[in-house]
Amino acid sequence: MNNLPGAIMRHNVAEFLAFSDMYQLSITSKKLHSQLPVSIMPPRKVLTEFSRIDYHNGNDHHGPYGMDYGFEIPVPSHPQVACHSMCVSMSWRDQGLGLGQKGYFLIMASDKESGGRLGRTVFASPYAPHSSQSLHITFMTKIDQSYHLWYVVGGGGGHSLHLCNVTVQAIVYDEPSRSFLKAFNFVAKRNVFLPWDVATSLTSPPQVSSRDSFELETTLASASHLLKQGEPLPSHMISLFAHSGISERDLTLMFIELIRSILDDVAHELYFYDICCLCDFEDNRYQNRGSLSPSLNGEECGLEKNTDGCDVDVEYMDIDHQYWGIDEDMDFDPASMEW
């Protein structure tokens, strides 16, 4: 296997391996690691806490077990890389008491042009436990699809659903030089990958230094301009990248643009998460007032209204056993990996 070309390794081997199997294969030997065109990204925490309470009532259009939109799973998608698979890890629980367990969530795939409306289910959780438990979910990704978390808190009042320390990790097809991994680590060392609920202004004061972000964007824009003009980079720019382990040889126009695209992706993630939280906040506020028609709905927030039907009748779903072919990786723990 060590002598197989990289293209054959990808199309005839890698595309048939699950997340944990791909990781084990990539660390089998140094030669195999150099030939296998993948990078295993470090874990990234996207949320410290995602908590939702039951605010639906019997007259609400959602129904007693209405399904609500949570957030998009950030899957790397760049011209230079394609994602092989994702791992989503978290600890989760419900309200912690009561005889019935009603909260659960789905991860659904949809065409990128559809704006996240309900699509193919890649994972359906069991009912949320009363006490906090860890959960690791792995699934293969497709380049033309985006992945979204939808949730059900449960009806009857007093129910809640809590997802804590939501962390994502990707395996991507990278270049032999591991350019995407290097760009990702460069951005990570500048505290750009703050959890969404920490970085956005909705739940707390902004904690992203606008000055540092502006200086980094200015530096990258200047470097891009100089490289496009065929000019050498000044020593202070080279030194900035060298402190992150990036050599002058790596500082190509493609690499600089890759860093900029990662920063753009983070900005879009924060923007759309803020919108989703605002829609949920307004829906909650008007439901508590007894209004059946919130003034701020998904369409006004820039989200398409789903007409395919969101209601799920739990009585007719075997939530505890229905995983639709995608397994929860019970034996896989990302914390056991060495980076």
Q: What is the pLDDT of residues 80-105, one digit of tens each?
A: 688 999 999 999 998 887 776 678 99
Please give the Cα distance from 73 to 335 (Å, whole number).
Answer: 20
Q: Which residue in the block uniquely carries the two structure tokens 């680590």?
A: 185
pLDDT for residue 248 is more than 80: yes
Q: How does pLDDT run across 250-293, given as a tens digit for each residue? A: 999 999 999 999 999 998 898 888 888 777 655 554 444 443 33
Extract the tokens encoding 73. 């799973």
- What's the mean pLDDT when you consider all of the chain? 75
Amino acid at 273: Y
Please give the Cα distance from 37 to 172 (Å, whole number).
Answer: 8
Cβ neighbors of 276 (< 8 A, separation 6 or more) are 69, 70, 71, 301, 303
Q: How does pLDDT run across 50-83, given as a tens digit for each residue? A: 998 876 544 444 444 568 889 999 999 777 688 9
Phi, psi of 218 (to 5 degrees): -65, -40
pTM over 0.85: no
Amino acid at 63: G
Q: How far apart are the first and last CA of the chain?
A: 24
Please give the Cα distance from 192 to 209 (Å, whole number).
Answer: 9
Please give the Cα distance from 35 to 15 (Å, whole number).
Answer: 15
